[in-house]
Amino acid sequence: MSNFAYLPLESKGWRMAMGLRPLDLDHWLEVDDRRDDELEQKRQLLDTVFDVVVATNPEGDEGSRELLGEVTRYLDAHQPELTIEVRREEHPIVAAARLVQEDLCVLVRSDVWRLQAACVCFPSRWNLASKLGTTLDDIHRPVPTYDVELSRPTNAFFERLKSDRSFWRLNWTLIDSPALHQPTSARRSPHGELADWFFRVERQTLRRLPESGAIVFTIHNYVASAKELCEAHEDFGATLLLNLDTAPPAMQEYKGWVGVADRLRASLDPEPRLSRE
Ligand code: HEM
């Protein structure tokens, strides 16, 4: 049985939704058995491609300092067995991101909410530098139907978010590589066998910090092979197929899924049964 943390497929087919749920801050960040490996990957990325995985404006400094304090307090309270070394000489969002599996983003309100600091080591095919200083609408410009379906409610949600009520949501995709660090936006349709396809889930949290008033957005990635998930969960393959089949063509294009449903259908039922007359 797979112990994959989240399977957020829609049982009735593709749906574009905010899908926000209340977050108990005792479960703000998640620690699992991939922690050592993922923190090591972050360390190497920060050593080799710092400008790809970190982007900061001075407007994000205050929120980033407060975020570092929140992260260390959280780990002290909830994971006291972990050894935490805070690198005070670094930008606080980098120091914070080294301690947790999550990618971290700080948004600050000026004329509108803008992304002003981020350490994103594990982007799912997007480029961090191009999003720094931009608005929620600009960040999501490549996402089909975001402007008509999600822009208004997401902006309104940011305006209303208070520090005493936090939220989380899940995002998923099917992708042709298990690598966590995928900074380029080129999307290729998954090819090959079912075992070569990967189900990637982002657990995202949103909270407003009490002192600076900045909003923190965290992303924790979970990846599993589609084949393993099909074997472990009876309905997974059929539900995945339904979600791929019912996603609008522009979304299929954006996600790199064109033609994938047909391949999946063939993999799920490789030898169509002969009908007996
Ligand atoms: C309630 C809040 C939010 C909602 C409902 C939302 C929704 C979405 C959706 C539906 C997508 C399409 C992703 C996919 O299926 O592949 C997306 C992509 C994305 N989101 Fe959000 N999002 C939210 C907040 C944020 C925040 C705060 C950031 C800040 C960094 C962000 C950054 C991104 C980026 C970078 C992408 C990829 C865009 C690209 O392809 O260039 N999102 N978001």
Centre of ligand 1 from the C-alpha of residue 140, in Å: 6
List strand residue ranges (DSSP E) for 58-98, in order: none
Centre of ligand 1 from the C-alpha of residue 40, in Å: 26
Q: Is residue 139 part of a domain?
A: yes
Q: Whose CA is nearest to atom 36 of ligand 1?
A: 140
Q: Whose CA is nearest to atom 4 of ligand 1?
A: 18
Q: How far apart are CA 216 and CA 210, in angstroms?
A: 11
Per-residue burial over 162-173, b if 16 or more Cβ lie within 10 Å, else e, is: eeeebbbbbebb
Q: Is residue 262 part of a domain?
A: yes
Ligand 1 pocket, Cβ-based, cut-off 6 angstroms: 18, 105, 107, 115, 126, 131, 139-140, 142-143, 150, 154, 157, 171, 173, 217, 255
| Partners of residue 256 on adjacent β-strands | none
In the chain, what's the furthest Cα-to-Cα distance? 77
Q: Which of 249, 259, 178 is nearest to 14 (CA)?
A: 249
Q: Is residue 9 part of a domain?
A: no
Average pLDDT over residues 135-156: 97
Would you call 273 helix, strand, or coil by DSSP?
coil
Q: For helices 236-246 and 260-268, give the axis angle rounded to 10 degrees.
A: 160
Q: Whose CA is nearest to atom 11 of ligand 1?
A: 143
Q: Is residue 186 part of a domain?
A: yes
Q: Is residue 10 part of a domain?
A: no
Host domain of residue 240? 21-268
The answer, yes or no, to whether residue 275 has pLDDT greater than 70, is: no
Average pLDDT over residues 263-276: 67
pLDDT in tens, 79-124: 999 999 999 999 999 999 999 999 999 999 999 999 999 999 999 9
Q: Is residue 57 part of a domain?
A: yes
The answer, yes or no, to whether residue 193 has pLDDT greater than 80, is: no
Res 198: pLDDT: 93
Q: How many structural domains comprise the chain?
A: 1
Tokens of 124: 């799912």
Q: Is residue 238 part of a domain?
A: yes
Tell me the pLDDT band of 276, cut-offs 50, 70 and 90: very low
